[in-house]
Structure 1
């Protein structure tokens, strides 16, 4: 679903080293005010800003490589813990997850989809695509309707103002959440920070600094 995503950071150099050197992902663009890292089928750009910003996003990984990737990640960065464990199985998604934070404090989740296998050693190809992008707002109902208008369905029956709302399809979702709700497997409460996500169908979803979501079509 996600063709590209743009986040903002005041830790550009440290972030570039982290994704390029620590996670060993391909940096496809380098500039003074930005860099782009290729995460499987998704390009993620970090743009320089003066103020701190952090997000939650998730990356799909092969289910059969979950244990191998866990050991690989632990050699590079500490995993986050919740209720005495450093991984969790989500029955509704038939997937296992682990979490860590990058230098900007982004809460990064690796989701091992048990129905997806990739054989061989851990490599860049183990990072399949961005599977979740957190959208934080104080206008959950209005934001949800905007995403529905773009043709994205809600996983479930009703928007939950105080819970996580998964809006998307397949193995890729926006995670719509109210400002101030604690992110799972972290000690941080969700905050509103601008971002942009371009979907495979050309739809561009933008979250503004005030928490309002807007839509456009790529090229407009």
Structure 2
């Protein structure tokens, strides 16, 4: 599943735009006083102004085996959120390695190298190696209901986890990371998870779906 577009909300739009454009060097493709759109490889991240916005978690795929280079590059720009003393988190079961940081809205942003994708490149790491958005967090107390909605619309399956506290739905290219905020916080920061509204466009089996997540439910848009 490819996450083609992701629309999040921010109460701090200028700081968010400046961070991604000036600090991380992400390409801006459109911007005004109400939104900013950023090209992240195969994906577009759009951040829209909304005064009551709450934080999110999302992940960006980087090339396989590039986590050490990416960490050095990232540490020159942001503070890394660690798990204990670990700056790079080894997800052995997923054959992936990741690192985490906050943006100005306290969104938990993850860079993840998924080695099964075999997409490594020889060039030194920079933002041109932000390949695509590959995860969006979906806090909900009814994980099974969310899975049923997503499966009915797109046919995507469970990648890992269960309906109790954590369930990754999709595949290695694109995942909805569902957690039950009553029993689990966001890893690795232990931040409280909010069921923040977002819009998303995904491509699955050559079909495109645009959906809205709001009030812990997905709705297919036109």
TM-score (norm 2): 0.91
Look up the match of 2:136. Answer: 133
Supply the distance in 2 between the matched residues of 1:128 and 1:53 (Cα, whole angstroms). 26
Correspondence 1:155 to 2:156: no
Q: Would the aligned equivalents of 2:10 and 2:105 in 1 still touch at CA under 8 Å?
A: yes
Look up the match of 2:167. Answer: 165
Aligned-residue Cα RMSD (Å) equals 1.4
What are the within-5 Å matches in structure 2 for residues 34-45 of structure 1? 34-45=35-46
What are the within-5 Å matches in structure 2 for residues 16-35 of structure 1? 16-35=17-36
Across the two proteins, how many residue pairs are aligned to each other? Answer: 214
Look up the match of 2:78. Answer: 77
* SS in structure 1 at match of 2:45: strand
Q: Would the aligned equivalents of 1:139 and 1:212 in 2 still touch at CA under 8 Å?
A: no
Supply the distance in 1 between the matched residues of 2:27 and 2:9 (Cα, whole angstroms). 19
Supply the distance in 2 between the matched residues of 1:161 and 1:190 (Cα, whole angstroms). 15
2:124 to 121, 125, 128: 121
Supply the distance in 2 between the matched residues of 1:97 and 1:192 (Cα, whole angstroms). 23
Supply the distance in 1 between the matched residues of 2:30 and 2:56 (Cα, whole angstroms). 21
Moved more, 93-102 or 131-140: 131-140
* SS in structure 2 at match of 1:191: coil
2:216 to 201, 206, 211: 211
| Per-residue CA distance 1:40-73 (angstroms, 9 max, x = gap) | 1000000001114110000100123221110110
